[in-house]
Structure 1
């Protein structure tokens, strides 16, 4: 009948107030009204109270996800990486320092040798098209030239000292040069490569080739990079909550870390609250993000302690078994909504950590109240993830492991699970492998375009707009039955090839 309002779907407070623990696949948003193009959607957001990003993506502090290459790529894309701490404090600080010394979206990772050295196999070049020669053969020594792999392969005297294959290096430029500056320099000076050097130490940071420039230009155009007030890439780091982590924190601050995440599977603890207060007292300009939390009660405790951001998720990652082993956690959709609802009242941004398998999950996490999404498996297996590729059953893969796996715990990550003092170690994660995804410089821009289209369907032109529509009960959701989830995916085909772009 005309004039009768139709109640369609549920507002978020009703759907998530029924006592069910929903994950992303369990819920679906109903479409709203479109009055703007997808490209008009603004995904810029807050990582923490005082750090703003143009892309709502954060790489997880896992030792098979985030080191230097991931850190520079994520910053170049407008997101941020959080460097893992499953290593010595000096090693973690070196990764942060290395990432912040660059302004290009990749790491060339050259092999260093001395002029008197020999190369006996092409494998010694690694993935680099050259070896870099320095006086002593180390990265800290004065550079004297380089040897191109193609020249060595074509030489009849392969066993000769590298000095006999060496060509001179072009003049170096500061490592503060960004991608466009380097491209112009190579073009104008007709060089096929250029070394970049640290303005602080004078050491070689990278050697950028014409091939590198061409490869990056073939990727989608990068957005606004994540830069600090000093013009350097934003880089974050994870720390624990033990007494020795206070010393690690000192190393990270000296290395230039812009934000630290207190890394714990259950963040509502006296240890974390004490560490939050320590950070705010001794490093008042350093942003500190607490977690992990999944309830409003947990979140409120950390907010009162002074956090600048909250990390949400417990047992939702693809390699995490916390819910199975400990019977504690929460469905990620419910966790994000509940924590974001309380965090919003204090102006504290929320990071949705875990459970991201596709662009639709990102849309759901952000609209349910998160300001950013933290990704592990979604980024693992990429060119920028640590580790070497190998072939399994004909597929190119990289190792991916949970920080709660026994393998990771042997390197120190058991402190994350408050288990470093226990005699018996219980795993809360597994070790696996993920398929090669290519470069994040390619698939993240395509993923963000899909997210923009999701926001358009919801009538939200920005994250604040989406959050406002959700809180004002304009956006509606429904729970999905198992059959609805099957229907929403690919089904009924004998075979198919699934490509996102």
Structure 2
């Protein structure tokens, strides 16, 4: 409006002052809105060649991304990066599992042959699976012959009886190419609680099992306004992390055979001769495979990787939920993340200054000893994005995303996507049970005091 001086600073002026800022150091001023909320498009680029409907990527941590997370992220229009804290064959198996499904959930299926006894799955009720599939060979690679439900299993008195004696033969099934709405209509029309999906072209092999609860879950997914992340092969897109060692070349071969869509070079310092050589190897050996380099926090680092041929950049260098590069190596930039008390990690619970086993500690005191104060890196994202944009290389803001405000700030400052680790850990789709450090501290403290 004429005659009124604008408040605040433009980003260019703010980030030229020679200071490094965290996300919590900056905030955006409100302005005039002349568009409806439903006109906002979240579609973005992950790499030069890969597009996503939402700017969200799950981190390659072994407590965050395996099959279920990768599948769920892709179904919502994002992407999951499978961790490499496993053997090459196991990592490839996770990728195959995620890409083999057409629905945003994993059915953990149990298979038996007709000659097996129910004792083969003695923990059936406890396993969370409510259906046993009976096939000719007892695997998913043969024709479906029947099913055993948990109610049938619970009614059995003779657990040594053969499966063929009590299975429901020739069960109702649906074609494996049905989409979620077709499956929902099929379940409703036949009043079924579940239906196996079979591929008749492969001799009736079981591809999946969909339950009425699964259908309700799919319908409850938020509408992102975009499409699921699907590759040129028509399957869900899945990424994977690899290192920069010679052995990672063999790992990469396994991943490519499994159908991986993009690889992330997982390193706390991306601007190294090892990563440069690995980028060259990937691009020369698999020219159609996109590679994301990093991690970097400066324009100089970014330029080196861009010139080498990366298709995307991962920005952030400690501290994150599991990364301590700044504390250990004194290297990084403007993150100030995870400042914490001396006793913030469980093994140090008894090193609290003034701690005494002679008095009781309140819950609040115990919690405060293990609390992380989270801040993030705004300067690194802004600086790297400014140079990456000139070459058309998208940036992933990586590290410590813990609320939606952090996501918005990262995107406005130039990132195309954000990588989430602790933000997703502990969710139903995460591969491990959530282990709360604070509760470990409390239990350890109680045991210590009890022994005293």
Name the TM tier (shorter chain): 0.7 to 0.9
Classify the secondary structure of the residue corresponding to 1:92: helix
Question: Matches of 2:288 and 2:11 in 1, distance apart?
Answer: 36
| Cα shift at 1:176 | 4.4
| Cα shift at 1:433 | 8.6
Classify the secondary structure of the residue corresponding to 1:194: strand
Does 2:21 align with 1:22?
yes
Pairwise mapping of residues 31-42 of structure 1 onto structure 2 (< 5 A)? 31-42=30-41
1:318 aligned residue: 321
Question: Matches of 1:43 and 1:126 in 2, distance apart?
Answer: 38
Question: Matches of 1:17 and 1:335 in 2, distance apart?
Answer: 12
Question: Matches of 1:59 and 1:87 in 2, distance apart?
Answer: 17
Classify the secondary structure of the residue corresponding to 2:148: strand
Pairwise mapping of residues 48-127 of structure 1 onto structure 2 (< 5 A)? 48-115=47-114, 116-119=116-119, 121-122=122-123, 125-127=126-128
2:362 aligned residue: none
Cα deviation, 1:251-303, whole Å, max 9, x if unaligned, reads 21121111111111111111111111111112111111111111111100000
Q: Is the 8 A contact 1:111 1:125 kept in 2?
A: no
Does 2:418 align with 1:373?
yes
Q: Is the 8 A contact 1:122 1:149 kept in 2?
A: no
1:299 aligned residue: 302
Question: Matches of 1:90 and 1:363 in 2, distance apart?
Answer: 37
Pairwise mapping of residues 216-295 of structure 1 onto structure 2 (< 5 A)? 216-221=218-223, 223=225, 224-295=227-298
Whose Rg is larger? 2
CA distance change for structure 1 residues 197 and 58 in 2, over 3 Å: closer, same or farther? farther
1:344 aligned residue: 389
Does 2:54 align with 1:9?
no
| Cα shift at 1:137 | 3.7
CA distance change for structure 1 residues 61 and 14 in 2, over 3 Å: closer, same or farther? same
Question: Matches of 1:244 and 1:336 in 2, distance apart?
Answer: 31
- Which structure's relative contact order is higher, taking Cα pairs within 8 Å and 6+ residues apart? 1
CA distance change for structure 1 residues 123 and 9 in 2, over 3 Å: closer, same or farther? same
Question: Matches of 1:180 and 1:172 in 2, distance apart?
Answer: 15
2:448 aligned residue: none
Q: 2:409 aligns with which of 361, 364, 378?
A: 364
| Cα shift at 1:132 | 2.5
| 325-334 vs 2-11, greater mean Cα deviation | 2-11
1:487 aligned residue: none
TM-score w.r.t. structure 2 length?
Answer: 0.80
1:473 aligned residue: none
Q: 1:212 aligns with which of 207, 211, 214?
A: 214
1:392 aligned residue: none
TM-score w.r.t. structure 1 length?
Answer: 0.73
Unaligned 5+ runs, structure 1: 390-397, 401-430, 435-501
CA distance change for structure 1 residues 146 and 3 in 2, over 3 Å: closer, same or farther? closer
Q: Is the 8 A contact 1:170 1:191 kept in 2?
A: no
| Cα shift at 1:220 | 3.1
Classify the secondary structure of the residue corresponding to 2:16: coil
2:428 aligned residue: 383
1:129 aligned residue: 130
Question: Matches of 1:278 and 1:135 in 2, distance apart?
Answer: 45
Question: Matches of 2:295 and 2:169 in 1, distance apart?
Answer: 51
> CA RMSD for the aligned pairs?
2.6
Classify the secondary structure of the residue corresponding to 2:118: coil
Q: Is the 8 A contact 1:169 1:194 kept in 2?
A: no
Question: Matches of 2:26 and 2:420 in 1, distance apart?
Answer: 20
Q: Is the 8 A contact 2:124 2:150 kept in 1?
A: no
Pairwise mapping of residues 462-477 of structure 1 onto structure 2 (< 5 A)? none
CA distance change for structure 1 residues 176 and 125 in 2, over 3 Å: closer, same or farther? farther
Classify the secondary structure of the residue corresponding to 1:379: coil
1:408 aligned residue: none
Alignment size in residue pairs: 394
2:368 aligned residue: none
Question: Matches of 2:71 and 2:305 in 1, distance apart?
Answer: 30
1:498 aligned residue: none
Cα deviation, 1:458-499, whole Å, max 9, x if unaligned, reads xxxxxxxxxxxxxxxxxxxxxxxxxxxxxxxxxxxxxxxxxx
Classify the secondary structure of the residue corresponding to 2:71: helix
